Every structure is written in C-alpha cells, then in structure tokens.
Amino acid sequence: MSLTLYGAARSRASMVRWYLEEKAIPYAFVQLDLRNGEQRREPFTRINPFGKVPALVDDSLSGPDGEAFKLFESGAILFHLAERYGEEFEASGPGGVDAGMARRSLTAQWLLFANATLGPAMFQLESRPEEMQHLLGTLNRQLETSTHMLAGSWGDPGWGAADCVVQAYLAYIPMFCPGLDLTPYPAVTNTIEATSQRPAYRKVMGLG
C-alpha cells in the first residue's frame, strides 16, 4: 500500500494530513506551489482535473482508468481513509453491523456539514453573523455531551474522521475569524484548545 497526498500549506490538505498522522497511516506528502499555479498543470491535473488540492493517490486500488486510484475533495478523501485504513466502521463491539453502518453514515454527515455548512459560515461571518452563532451554539451543546462526534449508545468509538473535520474547522476560527467572541461557547473553546495541543495537529500545522 502506498498513499500519496498532494496539497499545500494553509489548505484543506492539512486536515487530511492530520488524520493520517493521528492514525499512524503511512503516506507521502507532495507540496505543490500554488502561487505559481503548479496545481493547474500536468502532471497534477491528471489527478485532479479541476486543479484544486487536496488530492490523493492510493495505489492499493485501481481506478476506472486502470491506473492507481485517484481521489479529490477533502471530505471524500477522509471518508475513504476512515473506511479503508482507519477501521472506523468495523461491525464488532456494541451494536454490531448496525452500529458500523450508522457510524459510516454519521461520518458522512459530519464531513458534509463541516465542508458545506460550517466552513462557508466562517467565511460569510460578516454578512451572516447570526448563522455562525447558531452553528456554534448547537455545536457547543453537542460538545458538552462528548468530545467525540460519534459517541452515543453504541459506546465511544474514539477520535475519527468526524472529529478531525469538525475540530479542524473550529481550530481555524481564531486564525480566520479573530474578532469572533467565543465566550458564550465554552465547550467549543475547550475543543479548540485541546485540538491545538494534540501532537499530530501541531506537527502538521508547524506549531512545533
């Protein structure tokens, strides 16, 4: 098995790298020069014709072109890694097969929520502040119950792709929304602080 992740600093490739590091999944990282448009030229456009990062090549699988399996979009990449290498949806333990299937769907839910709802709300903060407040209030209540997004009656599966994507976006808030008052959301604040102290996160983000 050989995984190659293509990305750049301050891109969504960072959350994929974080997942790989947390799960100790071997991979190679290729950093592209976005400023000079490397992502919009071959050979990278043979991996992602849209010229965006991140992208993944997994040579343990064959794609429809008969070559090594290629995947783009951070959410799709994280889901693939969780299913194939993270062993997050195993049927063993409380709930059996039903729990595994439910966790699979719930992971997809949180991946889509983070990329399609939470992320855009951060970057639309000035025009739609009430949306961000609503999302943070709801997430705060969720995080008060458990720090893991999929914890529940089937037990706590531990840190996984759903946690990775939600925690990564929350950790971006102090960087991209420095004026946002997080005082009303103590569980969110605690999550951001805990994320910033995780060794794998610090390694990927260059925090020492």
| pLDDT tens digits, 105-123 | 999 999 999 999 999 999 8
Angle, to 10 degrees, between the axis of helix 161-176 and the axis of helix 96-113? 20
Run of H or E including 28: strand 28-31
pLDDT at residue 90 is higher than 80: no
pTM summary value = 0.94
118 near 162, Cβ under 8 Å? no
Distances (CA, A) of 140 to 79, 169, 195: 24, 14, 15
Number of helices (H), then strands (E), in the chain: 8, 4
Give the model confidence (pLDDT) of 27-74 as tens digits: 999 999 999 999 999 999 999 999 999 999 999 999 999 999 999 999
Q: pLDDT confidence of 151, banded at 50, 70, 90? A: confident
Q: What percent of the chain has pLDDT over 70?
A: 96
Q: Residue 192 has what pLDDT?
A: 97
Residues 6+ apart with CB under 8 A from 76: none
> How far is it, in rounded angstroms, from Cα 189 to Cα 184?
9
pLDDT at residue 134 is higher than 70: yes
